[in-house]
Amino acid sequence: MEVRWRPGSHFGSSLRFQPPLSPGALCRLEPHILRGKQSPFRGEKHIMAQTGEKPLVTHARKERFAASYPENEPILSWLRKEAVEEVLEPELPIVDCHHHMWDHRGASSNDHPKAHDDICSTRVYKLPQILEDMNDGHNVVKTVFAECLAFFHGASVTGLPGDTMRPLGEVEYCQGVAALCDSGTYGNCRVCAGIVGTCDFHDPNVEQLLQAMVRSRNFRGTRASAWGPQLRNSVDDEVFCKGMALMEKHNLSYEWVDLRANGAQKALGFLKEIALKFPKVRIVMNHLGALIGPRLNPDAVERWKAGVADVGKYCPNVVVKCGGVQMSGNGWDYCFVKRETPIGSKELCEIMLPYYSHVIDCFGPQRCKFESNFPVDRNSCSHRVLYNMFKRIAAAKNLSAADKKAIFHDAASCEAAEGWRTRAG
C-alpha cells in the first residue's frame, strides 16, 4: 500500500509501509492521512477532521474490533459478537480516569511480572488498542493511566543498586504516549493526560524515585495495593507516615485499592484512619472500595455499605473511582465473562445499579468519577457498552447536567490537567 502526501508535507512526497492494523483501524488512528477526503477502504465511512481534532467516524464498519495482535484475538472475537448499541449522549465530554497499558507477550518471571493476566484476556494494550476503545463512540477527551507493573526499567538501567528506580520506566513510557497524543496526530483524545505510578514507601531511596517521576509533567501520584507493604502496617507505622508525608510534600495523590474478598469493612476502616491522619493528601479510592460482586457474601456487602458511608461522611479528602467492579476477579464469570455473547448496557445497569447508587449517594457526584479499568473490564463488555451503562446509571439517579459534568469529566479532570501539582491545595 502506498500513501501519497500533498506537496510540501513535512512527511515527504510518499511513504511505503506495512500497516500493523486492519485498514479500518489504520484509517481511524491516522487521521492526517486522509485529511478531508473520503476513505478508500470499502465498507468504511469517515468524515476526517483536521489534525488535532477528534476524527468523526460513523460506526458502519463491518468489524468494530480490528485485528491487531494474535494474542488478543480470543477477546476481540468474543467482543465482535456484541449487539451494536447506539451511543447515549455522544457529545458528553468524558475523562476516563483509570486504565492500564501493557505488553505481556514476553516471558513471565519475577523480574518482569505479568499483573492481571489471571483476570484479563488482553495481552497487548498500547496506544493503537486503547484508541480503538476511546474512539468507539463516546466523547472521551482525556484519560488517566493507573500503574500495573508494566514497562519497568530493567535491572541496573538507572545505575542505582536494587529496584528503587525501576518503576520510573512505567511513568516515562506513559509520558511518551502522552506526547504522541498531544501532537494531535491521533485525534483529540489525550491518552495518559494523567499518570499514576507506584513506589515502595519502605525503600530508603523512595524520594529520589518520586523526584524523578515528578519530572514527567503528567505524573500525578502513586497507587498502593493490598499486596504491597504499605497496607500491611498500621497507619502509625513510621515508614508509612514518611511516605504519606512525601505525598503531601510533592502535592501527589495517594490511590488506594484493597482487593481482599469479604474484608471490606476492615479495609475501609483503615482507609478512614489514613484519610483522617493525612487530611491534606488527596486520596483516591479505586473500584468502589472493594471486590464488589458475587465474591462478597451478603454480610460483607452490608459491611461494605457501612464502610463506604463512613468514609464518605468523615473524609472529605477522599474521592472515588466508580468502576472496575465488572472484573472477572469479582466473581462475575458466569454473569458476564463466560456468556456466549457480551452483555448489553441495559442489563448490565440493572445488575450494577445498587452498588454504584450507594457510592454516589454517600460521596455525591462531585466526589465520584466513572472509570473504565480497561482492558481488565473489557473481559466483561466493550467500552461503548460500559459507558452507556454509566449514562443509564446517571439517568436512574436523576443527575442534573451539572452533576453529570462532574462525574463524567470534572471530578477526574484535575488528575488530567496541566499544572495540576502547582495548583493543588
For the stretch 279-319, pLDDT in tens is 999 999 999 998 888 888 899 899 999 999 999 999 999 99
pLDDT for position 329: 79
Single out the residue of 251, 68, 101, 116 nearest to residue 181, CA to CA: 101
pLDDT bin (cut points 50, 70, 90) of residue 157 is: confident
pLDDT for position 113: 56
pLDDT for position 108: 55
Give me the mean pLDDT over the 116-129 stretch: 89
Which of 28 and 130 is assigned the larger pLDDT? 130
pLDDT for position 184: 93
Q: Which three cell numbers stand for residue 278?
A: 493525612
Single out the residue of 251, 266, 263 nearest to residue 317, CA to CA: 251
pLDDT at 100 over 50: yes
Count of helix runs (H) and strand runs (E) in the chain: 13, 14
Task: Give Cα 201 to chain centroid, integer Å.
Answer: 23
Q: Cβ(94)–Cβ(409) under 8 Å?
A: yes
DSSP state of 279: T
pLDDT bin (cut points 50, 70, 90) of residue 260 is: low
Give me the mean pLDDT over the 363-380 stretch: 96
- CA atoms in the 13 A half-sphere facing the CB of 379: 25
In angstroms, the CA 150 to CA 147 distance is 7
Single out the residue of 220, 210, 173 nearest to residue 418, CA to CA: 220
pLDDT bin (cut points 50, 70, 90) of residue 334 is: low
Which of 74 and 34 is assigned the larger pLDDT? 74
Read off the pLDDT of residues 42-83 as tens digits, 9 standing for 90 and up: 333 333 334 344 444 433 445 689 888 999 999 999 999 999
Decide the pairing of beta strands 56-57 and 46-47: antiparallel
pLDDT for position 90: 97
pLDDT at 7 over 70: no
pLDDT bin (cut points 50, 70, 90) of residue 101 is: very high
pLDDT for position 419: 53
pLDDT for position 287: 94
Domain coordinates in residue numbering, the chain: 2-47, 73-423
**What CATH number belongs to 73-423?**
3.20.20.140
pLDDT for position 272: 94
Buried b (16+ CB within 10 A) or exposed e, 78-111: bbbebeeeebbeeebebbbbbbbbbbbeeeeeee
3-class secondary-structure state, position 278: coil
Give me the mean pLDDT over the 28-49 stretch: 34
What percent of the chain has pLDDT above 90?
60
Instruction: Let me know if 202 is exposed, middle or buried by CB neighbors in 10 A (0-12, 13-18, 19+).
Output: middle
Q: Which three cell numbers stand for residue 216?
A: 514527567
